[in-house]
Structure 1
Amino acid sequence: MEQVLQDKALGNFQVIKLVNPHPQALRTEIERFLGSDRFPDDVLLFYFTGHGALDNATGMQLYLSTYKELRLLRGGSWYHDPKVCRSANRFRDRADLRYNFVGFRAACSAPSTLYK
């Protein structure tokens, strides 16, 4: 990305790259970037990826979810949406949440032979 943005044929942007910065350093650089020394016709590109933390020992990116692990939810109900009121309905959501409209419930009348 950095090389593409700096390419003179594609835009010749000045690139400021912060790798695994301390939060205060990131705030300071963003404030400087968006500072008052800009002109109305300046082109600014702010590209931020906050996928996790860079492990300096291995050079690998650790991707962190903002939510707890997702779980598979089965079934639905008329309360939520009639289209999902079937046992085959599946979707995913956070494992720490509970709903009163998830889970399949079945009710049927007893066979007539039990009434005789």
Structure 2
Amino acid sequence: MQESLLRPTLFLLFFYMNLLFHASALSLAPFLPQRFEGVMAVDLSAMRKLYRDGALKAATVAPAPMENGAWVLMVVHTDGTQDYMTVARSDRQKIYKSLESVHADAKRVGFTEVTTQVGALQVA
């Protein structure tokens, strides 16, 4: 009886220790829930088509979750739903390292104006 309980316990202990050991090398940002509930994922090509069809009304640049100094591009549909820009042919959120690059993609979609959100300001 004791031996049958010990095996799963040892396995779980080994599993969690291994996970903790390798966690420093993992970037979990692509797997975390996004900032907005019900947000869909769209790549540049699909976003261009939505813009041409008149389905998009606004673009927002926001700080990327779990990434320091990085940005994401979010768009709002005419029906109020939201999408985020993804890496081509993927559901993984595209993370931009500069405001210039995210603004360039917004311009490629067709937007002439974007709103930029700023995170909490830190005072030194």
TM range (shorter): under 0.3
- Flag the structure with more relative contact order, 1 or 2, with Cα contacts below 8 A and sequence separation at least 6: 2
Structure 1 length as normaliser, TM-score? Answer: 0.23
Structure 2 length as normaliser, TM-score? Answer: 0.22
* Structure number with bigger Rg: 1
